[in-house]
C-alpha cells in the first residue's frame, strides 16, 4: 500500500571504534512541503533500474527529485544502554520511518533485547543487516532499541534463523511511510493476520499439515524436476513452473541456497502467494506457502 504521506529512511552502517558503536548517518527525507511522490525501497533484491543505492548497497531506493539524500561527514556515537544494548531515536516523517541497520562485523542481533521487532534480516558484505518500520508518524520521536552478540557462524543460516523468529512471533510493526514489497514482508504479514503459518506443522516424514489437510512432500535434494512436480500439484501453470526453474538455477549459480525469503526464488514465491490469493490455483494461500516452503527445503537440504 502506498503511503498517504511519504515517510523517511535512515541507514546506520554500524562499526565499533575503540569500544564505542558508531555510524555515519545516511538519510532520505521528503521535502517539508508537499512531496511530488513516494519513496520506494527494496531490501532483498539486487540493483534495479531507476533505484539508487543506500548504505553502500544494503538497499536500493527510488525517490522523487524533491527528496533529499544525505550522508553525514562524521560518524556519531550510538547511545549505549549497557551490555551491548543500544538505542536510536529519530523523527518519523509522514506515515513513518524505515530504519536499516548494518550490524558490525562479527555480530548478530539479540532479538530478546530488541524493541520493536525488525521486519527482516539478510547477509550483506560478510555482515548481517536488518530493517525496522516502527510505529510513529508525522513528527513523532521514534525509538528503536537493539541488542548485539558476537557471532562467528554462517551468516546466511543466521539470517534465515532471524527471519524465522520474526515470522514465528508475528508482531513486527509495519508502518506505511516507505513503500517496500519484499518476500519476507509478505511472510510476516501473513503470519500477523493469521492467514498462514499459525496452523501449519511440518513433521520429519515430509508431511505438511494445514488444518485438517495433509500433503506429502517427497522431492529429493538437488532434484529440480521433483521440486517442480510438487509445485505443479498445487495448480500452477507450466509458465509459472519454468519461472521457478529459472529462479532456482540463477540463485544456485550465485552461490545462494534457494529459499522463500531471498533472491530470485524469494521473489517468485511472493508472486506465487499473490496468485494463490486471487484463487488462480487449486488450493488456499496457506497450503501454497507451506508446501512450497517444504519442497524448497527438501530441494536445498534434503528436508
Q: How is residue 105 annotated by DSSP? A: T
Report the relative pairing of strands 15-17 and 20-23 from DSSP bridges: antiparallel
| Chain segment 211-261, per-residue pLDDT in tens | 435 568 889 999 999 999 999 999 999 999 999 999 999 999 988 889 887
Is it true that the peptide bond before 116 is cis, omega within 30 degrees of 0?
A: yes
Is it true that the peptide bond before 85 is cis, omega within 30 degrees of 0?
A: no
Kindly give, in sequence order, each residue whose CB lies less than 8 Å from that of residue 201, ignoring residues fewer than 6 positions away.
Answer: 208, 209
CB atoms within 10 A of CB 28: 23
Q: What percent of the chain has pLDDT above 90?
A: 58
Q: How is residue 57 annotated by DSSP? A: G
Report the relative pairing of strands 8-13 and 97-102 from DSSP bridges: parallel
**What's the CA gap between 164 and 45, in Å, rounded?**
19
3-state secondary structure 253-296: HCCCCCCCCCHHHHHHHHHHHHHHHCCCCCCCHHHHHHHHHHHH
| Chain segment 118-157, per-residue pLDDT in tens | 999 999 999 999 999 999 999 999 999 999 999 999 999 9
What is the structure's pLDDT at 47? 67
What is the structure's pLDDT at 214? 57
**What's the CA gap between 121 and 119, in Å, rounded?**
7
Element (H, E) at 207: strand 207-210
| Chain segment 160-179, per-residue pLDDT in tens | 999 989 888 888 999 999 98
CB 227 within 8 A of CB 296: yes
Residue 4, exposed/middle/buried by CB under 10 A (0-12, 13-18, 19+)?
exposed
pLDDT band at 206 (very low <50, low <70, confident <90, very high): low
pTM, to two decimals: 0.64
| Chain segment 10-46, per-residue pLDDT in tens | 999 999 999 999 999 999 999 987 777 889 998 987 7
CB 98 within 8 A of CB 60: no
Amino acid at each position: 500500500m502506498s503511503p498517504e504521506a511519504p515517510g523517511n529512511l535512515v541507514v546506520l552502517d554500524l562499526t565499533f571504534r575503540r569500544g564505542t558503536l558508531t555510524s555515519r548517518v545516511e538519510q532520505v527525507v521528503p521535502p517539508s512541503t508537499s512531496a511530488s511522490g513516494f519513496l520506494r525501497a527494496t531490501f532483498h533484491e539486487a540493483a534495479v533500474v531507476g533505484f539508487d543505492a543506500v548504505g553502500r548497497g544494503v538497499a536500493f531506493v527510488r525517490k522523487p527529485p524533491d527528496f533529499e539524500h544525505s550522508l553525514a561527514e562524521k560518524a556519531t556515537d550510538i547511545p549505549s544502554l549497557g551490555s551491548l544494548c543500544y538505542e536510536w531515536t529519530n523523527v518519523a516523517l509522514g506515515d513513518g520511518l524505515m530504519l536499516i541497520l548494518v550490524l558490525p562485523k562479527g555480530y548478530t542481533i539479540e532479538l530478546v533485547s530488541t524493541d520493536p521487532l525488525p521486519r527482516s534480516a539478510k547477509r550483506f558484505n560478510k555482515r548481517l543487516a536488518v530493517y525496522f518500520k516502527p510505529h510513529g508518524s508525522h513528527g513523532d520521536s521514534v525509538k528503536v532499541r537493539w541488542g548485539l552478540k558476537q557471532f562467528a557462524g554462517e551468516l546466511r543460516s543466521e539470517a534465515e534463523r532471524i527471519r524465522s523468529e520474526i515470522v514465528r512471533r508475528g508482531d513486527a510493526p509495519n508502518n506505511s511511510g516507505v513503500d517496500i514489497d519484499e518476500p519476507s514482508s509478505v511472510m510476516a504479514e501473513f503470519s500477523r493476520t493469521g492467514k498462514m503459518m499459525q496452523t501449519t506443522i511440518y513433521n520429519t516424514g515430509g508431511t505438511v499439515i494445514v488444518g485438517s489437510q495433509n500433503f506429502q512432500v517427497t522431492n529429493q535434494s538437488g532434484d529440480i524436476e521433483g521440486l517442480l512436480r510438487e509445485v505443479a500439484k498445487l495448480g500452477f501453470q507450466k509458465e509459472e513452473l519454468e519461472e521457478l526453474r529459472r529462479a532456482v538455477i540463477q540463485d544456485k549459480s550465485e552461490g545462494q541456497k534457494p529459499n522463500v525469503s531471498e533472491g530470485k526464488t524469494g521473489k517468485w514465491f511472493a508472486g506465487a502467494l499473490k496468485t494463490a490469493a486471487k484463487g488462480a490455483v487449486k488450493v488456499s494461500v496457506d497450503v501454497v506457502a507451506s508446501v512450497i516452503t517444504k519442497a524448497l527445503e527438501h530441494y536445498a537440504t534434503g528436508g
